[in-house]
Structure 1
Amino acid sequence: MGKKIGLAAYLIDDPVQGALFFLGKKLAVKDSKGNIAGIIVETEAYGGAEDKACHGYGKRLTPRNKIIFQQGGITYVYFCYGMHHLLNFVLGPEGVPMAVLIRGVIITEGKELVKQRRKGNPEHHWADGPGKVTKAMGITLADNGISLIGDRIWVEESGLEVPDSEIERTPRIGVDYAEEWAKKPLRFVWKQAMQRIMPSLINASSSSLNKDRVKTACSPTTH
């Protein structure tokens, strides 16, 4: 087990810095059937009341989005399009809506359990989209608002370095409604992750990977 990421990392008031920080870290989930872990390889930054793609846009507080206004260090899990649960890490001080959406993970531990959950899907597609991450790791609405330094869901140091030259920056997926915010490069992908973590999967996961991510993507909306 690596060193657990402490509360201070979640209190930064810059979602871009947070989204970059969590690339290469290990996301771990303690499940009743076993433990699952994987390396975070894709994130998106959401934050500030001015971000039109963020659930906290305009500081409009609702029963659904109230979690994102709390102090960083907790999960924000919501159900999107009636299909997918999405996992976010809440960041920053209380009252300022900021979060990092976990868009992609390479599963490294608990593979037998994940294989059962993602039956019929090749390993390189187990968690290569935000809805797939939660399916693979067994994360549901019951996990909304829980501590990220507890014993259910947490993040560890992985010992992996993510060079800036290997990070692809693109606009976020599925936020065309967000006007000028739709084009901001707030999606971060560790391009060489598969090569460094699971080289045996490289051939299987080449050209179709990003296409599948787009088709299964489901990003935060303003309601």
Structure 2
Amino acid sequence: MDQKHGNGTQKGKKIPLEAYRLSDPVDRARFFLGKRLVVETTEGRVSGLICETEAYGGAEDRACHGFGNRKTRRNWVLFEEGGIAYVYLCYGMHYLLNFVLGPKGIPLAVLIRAVWIIEGRSLVQLRRKGVDPKNWANGPGRVTQALGIDGSFNGLSLVGDRIWVEETGLVVPEKELEIGSRVGVDYAGDWAKMPWRFRWIGAQNHCLF
């Protein structure tokens, strides 16, 4: 990843709202790789290095919940101004976490597909009992389970005190960046083939926290 995708903030500083209000979800999906996602619950704090994301590109994107500008009780958060969490239940089983982007009224988002746990490991071990640590949060449903994210996070600010993202100072090497099509959206036709999934291979080797 080129240095230009960084925002120049200091390590440990919260990513500001302005970073969520840009309108290019593909750029933002790459931008959030290597950032630290932090979640506070009554059980404790857990954080992880974001290592896989997917971009969702608005009303014309057939894979996006906001396709055709259809607003529902489920997806209304997606149409709000960037900088809040869009959390929904997938197949009635798993909560998925998205970062809402752009200006109000345009459904743009980045799905957080995987993180590498770097804080609160004992708590995650309880939440993901019997699971190998390398598989604690290597899928979007596993991310929310490991971090303790449920429907109560839907619509929360991403610069608040329950969920936020921090700068790490890390830059993803191009040789460790895998780009592919999005997962589980075959119904979207050609849009399913868009190379909008970004994965940092070997992210755990950079977790010097």
CA deviation string 1:19-61 (max 9, x = no partner) = 0000000000011121110100000000221000000001011
Runs of 4+ in 1 over 6 A off after TM superposition: none
Q: Distance in 2 between matches of 1:47 and 1:75?
A: 16
Among 79, 97, 106, which residue is 1:87 paired with? 97
Quick one: distance in 2 between partners of 1:161 and 1:20? 10
Q: Aligned ranges for residues 173-184 of structure 1 at < 5 Å?
A: 173-184=183-194
Report 1:1-223 matches (<5 A): 2-197=12-207
Higher share of residues assigned helix = 1
Give the whole-Å Cα distance in 2 for the aligned partners of 1:165 and 1:67. Answer: 35
SS across alignment from 1:113 = helix
3-state SS, counterpart of residue 149 of structure 1: coil
SS of 2:168's partner is: coil
Cα RMSD between the aligned structures? 1.1
Match of 1:209 in 2: none
SS of residue matched to 2:115: strand
**Residues 136-173 of structure 1: per-residue CA shift (max 9 Å, x gap):** 00000011000000000000011211123321110000
Letter in 2 for 1:135: Q
Task: Measure, in 1, the Cα distance between the counterparts of 2:89 and 2:44.
Answer: 24
Work out the CA distance in 2 between the residues paired with 1:25 and 1:40: 6
SS state at 1:115 partner: helix
TM-score, normalised to structure 1, is 0.87
The aligned counterpart of 2:4 is none
What is the letter of the counterpart of residue 150 of structure 1?
G
Counting aligned pairs with the same residue, the percent is 60
Indicate the residue corresponding to 1:210 in structure 2. Answer: none
